[in-house]
Copies of this chain bind each other. A is one copy, B any other.
Amino acid sequence: MSNLRVQRTFDALFSLEDVREVFRQSLPTGLTPEQEQHVKESLAKVKEYLAEIEAPDIKTACPPKTRIGNLDIRTREEEYINIHPIQAAGRLTPEARKAIIAYGDGYSTCDYCRKPFRLDKITKPGIDDFHGELAKWLNADQARVTPGARRAFQAVASALVEKGDSVIVSAFAHYTEFLAVEQAGGVVKEVPKNEKNVITADATARKIEDVKKETGKLPVLIMIDHFDYMLANEHDVYGIAKVAKQYGIPFLYNGAYTVGIAPVDAKKIGADFVVGSGHKSMASVAPSGVLGVSNEYAPKVLRTTAMVGDVTKRKFGIKEVENLGCTLMGGTLLSMMASFPTIKERVKDWDEEVQKSNYFLEQFQRVKGSAVLSEWPRKHTLSKVDTTGSYDVIAKTHKRRGFYFSEELTDRGIIGEFAGATRTWKLNTYGLSWEKIKYLSEAFLDIARKYDLPVDSNAASSYAPGEKKKA
């Protein structure tokens, strides 16, 4: 599927960037005749593209694919319904896309950097205010931006973990938690999941006791994913925070799959640290993330440099050691700031997002042999599904093997599944409208019918739009 109108939208955007480049190359006194000519030609192209966007049928010849040097453009968000497990909530808002057009240049945030020379203190653009709002929104005492959630794990682990120390993580912990602990010289100790694939407060308490018995020392940090990356089941972060408190161990709430899509309140949870991912759940350019810190731990994790040059006696003021000074000095941060008003609103719709996901998965399970491996009903829009008993049966004898399924989805304008996978795989419906959810549901049923897979005839749903059933 190739959509001429989408391609021409990119072509028009790119030709306008060519116009912009002429202004960049020009003198303050104005454009030369050659530059005016260049602008004119680029604008003429834009107009042609606009005509094709308006009336795509007037031209039948297929134009060459739009490229940037050797780079293909990426049009899957425009041309498809994207159900990729980790891309859904990192899709940029229109505001973020505009912000990176305006603020893409390297150090674009630093025009008005004044004393004390730190990113989060810059007032124009309003980075200082944003940090205040971010902390308030997370209900954390302080907030910083980081190059991804992983760099927030690193900052915390590096500040709190000494060589050989134990750190409690979940049996579903993301690999970046493992690495952050490993980099700090610590050792991860996993809390086992229960029979429902959930990490509980009791299991965490038992693990703490085990570690104490085994090593003679308490763990120095507990990091738990509210929703994990494997099943996106909800784990008992509230109970775990209480346990952490009882033992006096700092608790890091990993909100990579919540901050930016669901309401998160650090104090209500009882978290000393709250971590979010910009590119995963906050509609921001990668790498970006957020770190909320309690006043209790800020002096350690946000400590400022104490290093003094032995010869020059230089000191670097309020630069923070674990953040290595400034973090997101350009388009990444501005994309997050531009998306922030939308983010603050969209978390209020979390229940409906989950409802939509449950609606889809209910329909999905009408195909006999299709199952949801994550907890049911879903409390998240990311889910692991199992189609071994349905679409994989066809794959076994299909000449395209599992790829037939990807191709059937692609033919219906759906993308983001793991290509070729027909047994267990993950998908995410976050941000899809009800129209898209219904279309998506119908597409899965349609593929099943095409291959004569049995489909439950009962289409009734307790998750349908009118029902407003809360997950």
- Residues of A participating in the B interface, judged by any CB pair closer than 8 Å: 1, 3, 5-6, 9-10, 12-14, 16-21, 23-25, 27-29, 39-40, 43, 46-47, 50, 53-54, 68-81, 84, 86-87, 89-92, 94-111, 125-126, 147-148, 150-151, 153-154, 158, 171, 173, 175-176, 178-183, 187-192, 278-280, 283-287, 305-307, 309-312, 314, 316, 319, 321-322, 324-325, 327-332, 334-335, 337-338, 341, 412-414, 433, 435-436, 439
B-side contacts of A324, CB under 8 Å: 148, 150-151, 153-154, 176, 179-180, 183
Closest to A283 in B: B106
Is the CB–CB distance between A325 and B176 below 8 Å? yes
Is the CB–CB distance between A53 and B19 below 8 Å? yes
B-side contacts of A78, CB under 8 Å: 20, 23-24
For A433, give its contact among B25, B68, B97, B316 (CB under 8 Å). B25
Closest to A36 in B: B54
Q: How far is the CA of A150 from the CA of B329 in the complex (A)?
A: 12
15 A-B pairs whose Cβ atoms sit less than 8 Å apart in the complex: A9-B20, A9-B23, A28-B79, A71-B338, A73-B102, A90-B106, A100-B104, A100-B285, A104-B335, A107-B279, A153-B324, A176-B325, A179-B321, A183-B324, A331-B331
B-side contacts of A103, CB under 8 Å: 74
Is the CB–CB distance between A279 and B439 below 8 Å? no
Is the CB–CB distance between A54 and B50 below 8 Å? no
Shortest Cβ distance from residue A371 to the other chain B in the assembled complex, whole angstroms? 22
Is the CB–CB distance between A287 and B327 below 8 Å? yes
Closest 3 CB pairs of A and B: A90-B106, A28-B413, A286-B330
Q: How far is the CA of A158 from the CA of B321 in the complex (A)?
A: 13
B-side contacts of A79, CB under 8 Å: 23, 28
Shortest Cβ distance from residue A288 to the other chain B in the assembled complex, whole angstroms? 8
Is the CB–CB distance between A328 and B183 below 8 Å? no
Is the CB–CB distance between B286 and A331 below 8 Å? yes
Is the CB–CB distance between B183 and A68 below 8 Å? no
Is the CB–CB distance between B50 and A43 below 8 Å? yes
Is the CB–CB distance between B176 and A414 below 8 Å? no
Given the known inter-chain contacts A16-B9, A125-B71, A286-B332, please indicate yes or no for A436 contacting B27, CB distance below 8 A. Answer: yes
For A27, give its contact among B21, B284, B314, B413 (CB under 8 Å). B413
Shortest Cβ distance from residue A404 to the other chain B in the assembled complex, whole angstroms? 19
B-side contacts of A43, CB under 8 Å: 50, 53-54
Is the CB–CB distance between B10 and A102 below 8 Å? yes
Shortest Cβ distance from residue A54 to the other chain B in the assembled complex, whole angstroms? 6
Shortest Cβ distance from residue A377 to the other chain B in the assembled complex, whole angstroms? 26
B-side contacts of A335, CB under 8 Å: 104
Q: How far is the CA of A412 from the CA of B76 in the complex (A)?
A: 45
Is the CB–CB distance between B307 and A181 below 8 Å? yes
Is the CB–CB distance between B100 and A331 below 8 Å? yes
Is the CB–CB distance between A29 and B106 below 8 Å? no
What 8 additional pairs, Cβ within 8 angstroms, besides A20-B97, A187-B307?
A6-B20, A9-B16, A12-B16, A47-B50, A100-B104, A148-B329, A183-B324, A287-B327
B-side contacts of A20, CB under 8 Å: 6, 9, 13, 78, 94, 97
Shortest Cβ distance from residue A156 to the other chain B in the assembled complex, whole angstroms? 13
Closest to A191 in B: B311
B-side contacts of A436, CB under 8 Å: 27
B-side contacts of A72, CB under 8 Å: 125
For A19, give its contact among B9, B29, B190, B327 (CB under 8 Å). B9
For A71, give its contact among B69, B110, B337 (CB under 8 Å). B337
B-side contacts of A99, CB under 8 Å: 68, 71
Shortest Cβ distance from residue A451 to the other chain B in the assembled complex, whole angstroms? 20
For A307, give its contact among B9, B101, B182 (CB under 8 Å). B182
Shortest Cβ distance from residue A52 to the other chain B in the assembled complex, whole angstroms? 11
Q: How far is the CA of A192 from the CA of B111 in the complex (A)?
A: 32
Is the CB–CB distance between B158 and A183 below 8 Å? yes
